A = this chain, B = another copy of it.
Amino acid sequence: MKIESVDFFYLAMPEVTTEADGSQDALVVRVEAGGHVGWGECEAAPLPSIAAFICPMSHGACRPVSDSVLGQTLSEPADIHRMSAALAFNSMDLLQAAHTWSGIEMAMWDLLGKARGVPTWKLLGYEAAYPKVPYASVLFGTTAQGTLERAKEMRGRGFRAAKFGWAPFGDSLEGDIAHLDAAREGLGPDGILLIDAGQIFGEDVDAAALRLDAMERNRVTFFEEPFHGSAYGAYGALRDRVKTVKTAGGEAAHNRHMAEHLIDFGRVGFIQIDCGRIGGLWPAKEVADYAVTRGVTYINHTFTSNLALSASLQPFAGLKDHVICEYPTTLKQLAVDMTTNHIVPNANGEIVIPDAPGLGVDINPDALTQYIQDVEIKVAGKILYPPSRVG
């Protein structure tokens, strides 16, 4: 099979706000080869990611992503690895390339799975896929009362675990303690409580550490992204100051090295990988393998559609002991509408990873037209996007 086309669909809600909600827009990727179709999603700014696919070459190591993809053979996993290596070299100096490639790579695994009639996790080398315990991934309330209500709501919806994140966390110590107490109260004594600081402490280890008492008293399982994603020193320093809570991070990794370094040098207890950023499913699977050897727990990072969710579960589908998974529960309508089927907790409250060809999630063509943001890019008088097609 040869890759015949790679198409991007930039979708957005009518209104996009500064809320830390990644489901307000989406960049969906369709790859076609040998009569088969695969779908992926970049967890990335859509316009720069499209630009990285079609931009004019700057030099031999700053080439558009398309140069390493279009017309290539795609018949087996080795072809994906080959393109990934070519891209790393050809687009070495094009920073956005990793985000663009992530959605394409994902779509290729979906396509190969469909072509062979097997779920993608089998192609990645797993014999079986084990159910995961979803944690409801929600934002903090604007007040502690709001957080309490959101926690109760998640518990009422049957979630055994919930993660609260972002603003107003970090605004004040008193406020943060109130939110932590509220989250624990609302979730009940047996709930698994997780906290995401959204990098609010920069590199300020002392400021992050001030929250540890309240976290440990409230039996927080992990404290996610207290710091800038590359601040391994700060992660390591906080690790030395915790008693029971573990640190977590990794969503910003745009290659597997960065995730492995966060494990080795930041000494996180949980490594969180976004397949829509790290370069797709294979580097994520490599990180999962690495995490196992280091005694670190792998988790998906997903705050967008069910397509991204399914993709994000594949790299650790076969890791029986890596049990919890991120599960977005307050998706914007576009992310709901984007797929015709949805991954929902079963009667045990668990997420069963699709046992269907590819990623097992079907794209809703109506959503692609309803939410589409048409993009046109011209350079030096030539339309580079959308690309013209012959025939």
**A residues at B contact (CB < 8 Å):** 10, 12, 16-22, 24-25, 43-48, 50-52, 54-64, 85, 88-89, 92-96, 98-99, 166-167, 198-199, 202, 228-233, 252, 254-255, 257-258, 260-261, 264-265, 277, 373-381, 384
B58 & A92 in contact (Cβ 8 Å cutoff): no
Give Cα A95–Cα B61 distance, bound, in whole angstroms: 18
A61: chain B residues at CB < 8 Å are 20, 198
Determine whether the beta carbon of A59 is less than 8 Å from that of B375: no
* Given A48-B48, A374-B379, A377-B377, 19 other A-B residues pairs in contact with their CB atoms under 8 A: A16-B56, A17-B60, A18-B57, A22-B62, A25-B58, A44-B95, A45-B55, A45-B58, A45-B62, A51-B51, A88-B228, A92-B199, A92-B229, A95-B99, A95-B254, A228-B255, A230-B255, A261-B261, A375-B379
A43 CA / B24 CA spacing, docked (Å) = 31
What B residues does A277 contact at CB under 8 A? 93, 95
Which residue on B lies nearest to A98, using beta carbons? Answer: B95
Please indicate the chain B residues that have their CB under 8 angstroms from the CB of A54 in the complex: 47
B232 A19 Cβ-Cβ under 8 A: no
On whether the beta carbons of A375 and B378 are closer than 8 Å, the reply is yes
Q: Which of B16, B43, B64, B167 contacts A57 (CB 8 A)?
A: B16
A193 and B276 alpha carbons, distance in the complex (Å): 42
CB distance from A87 to the nearest CB of B (A): 12
Known A252-B92, A261-B261: A379·B56 in contact at CB below 8 Å: no
Roughly how many angstroms separate A381 CA and B379 CA in the complex, as a whole number? 17
In the assembled complex, the Cα of A166 lies from the Cα of B92 at a distance in Å of: 13
Q: Are B96 and A52 in contact (CB under 8 A)?
A: yes
Report the minimal beta-carbon distance from A57 to chain B, rounded to whole angstroms.
5
- Choose among A56, A233, A260 the residue with the greatest number of B CB atoms under 10 Å from its CB: A56
Q: Is the CB of B58 within 8 A of A24?
A: yes
- Assess whether B55 is in contact with A46, with CB atoms less than 8 Å apart: yes
User: Out of B94, B96, B257, B373, which one reaches A232, CB within 8 Å?
Assistant: B257
